[in-house]
Amino acid sequence: MMKIWIDITNSPHINFFKPFIKKWNDEGNEIIITTRDLANTIDLIKQNNWNYYEIGGHAGKNKVKKLLYFPRRVLLLRKFLKTLNLILVFLKVPFIPLLLVNYWAYLLFI
């Protein structure tokens, strides 16, 4: 069994990851989903009956807030992930793992 982390930060990621999550769940893997409150992302995650952790938020259109929210979310994710022994990581933003993952894991950028 593997622990697989997927960070779903936008609603289009739901349909992309859906077949992977089903396959990995069927294989008995533990899927750890993190998300933020943006558009209808959380509603779609709930519709799929997936467990998730809401970490960070959405800054809206304010550029100053965006500058502050992004590093804040990275720090919150790092704190959350520090205790997990991840095997596989799926992310859309390739430089985040350098800040988050301080252990061995396969990093796949999509």
Instruction: Give the residue, 27 or 61, on which the prediction is more confident.
Output: 27
d(CA 22, CA 81): 22
Q: How many domains does the chain have?
A: 1
Please name which of 86, 69, 94, 93 lies closest in space to residue 102, comparing C-alpha atoms. 86
For 36-98, give the DSSP string: ---TTHHHHHHHTT---EE-S---TT-HHHHHHHHHHHHHHHHHHHTT---SEEEES-TTHHH
Alpha-carbon separation of residue 51 from 21, 39, 47, 77 (angstroms) = 11, 18, 11, 16
In tens, the pLDDT along 68-106 reads 777 788 888 888 887 777 666 666 655 555 445 544 444
Residue 50 belongs to domain spanning: 3-109
Instruction: Report the mean per-residue pLDDT for the chain.
Output: 79
Least confident stretch, 11-15, 28-32, 67-71, 72-76: 67-71
CATH code of the domain in which 70 resides: 3.40.50.2000
Provide φ and ψ at 93, rounded to 5°.
-110, 110
